[in-house]
Amino acid sequence: MSEIGHGVWSYVFLFTAGFVATQPWRYLGVILSRNVQEDAEILVWVRAVSTSLVAGLVARMVLLPAGALAAVPLEIRLGAFALGVAAYYGGGQRLIIGVGAAAAALIAAQYGLGG
């Protein structure tokens, strides 16, 4: 059961924190694309800010997860993650190889350890 419930309020929440929080940046991109230089410093900073946030999200999901991943031991999560990164580089930097290897390792390791 999520904190926001399933009623009308939950859709107001999801629309506001989802659509309203996202869409203006896309519209601003359309507007600015007519009169701002592509290599403007502000855009470098913008990328850095969202990269840092998504990196933080990744770390939080792996180290301090909520839900199904929380039931998986930390060493399996970290091991599977490391294996995914290694497979990505070993497999010629193809996303699908890294992503597939990590998920497969996470599942296999749980059955291997849990019996």
Partner 1 sequence: MGQGEPVTQPPEWTKGASRGDAFWRGIGGVPSTPVLVVVITFLGFGALAHDVGFDIYQAAFVTAVVFALPGQVVLADEIAHGAGLLAAAFAVTLTAVRLLPLVFSLMPVMRDGKSPRWPEFVLSHFTAITLWIEAMRRLPPLPRNLRMPYFAGFSAGLSAGTMSATILGYHLAAQLPPQIAAGFVFLTPIYFFLSLIATAVGGADRMALAVGTVLGPALFLLAPGYDLFLTGLIGGSAAYFMVRRRKRGAGS
Site for partner 1 in 42-61 (CB under 8 A): 43-61
CB of 75 to partner 1, least distance (A): 14
Query: Taking CB under 8 A as the rule, does residue 115 contact partner 1?
Result: no
Q: Tokens at residue 4, please?
A: 């926001």
How far apart, in whole angstroms, are the C-alpha atoms of residue 110 and residue 112?
Answer: 5
How many other C-beta atoms lie within 10 A of the C-beta of residue 4? 13
**Residue 75 binds partner 1, judged by CB under 8 A:** no
* Binding residue for partner 1, selected from 8, 71, 92, 115, defined by CB under 8 A: 71
Does 25 participate in binding partner 1 (rule CB under 8 A)?
A: yes
Interface with partner 1, residue 78, by CB under 8 A: no
Measuring CA to CA, which residue among 111, 88, 107, 110 is closest to residue 99?
Answer: 88
Helix 74-90 and helix 41-63, axial crossing angle in degrees, nearest 10: 130
Candidates 75, 85, 86, 90: give the one binding partner 1 (CB under 8 A).
85
Taking only Cα atoms into account, the Rg of the chain, rounded to an integer number of angstroms, comes to 20
For partner 1, the binding residue among 79, 86, 95, 115 (CB under 8 A) is 95
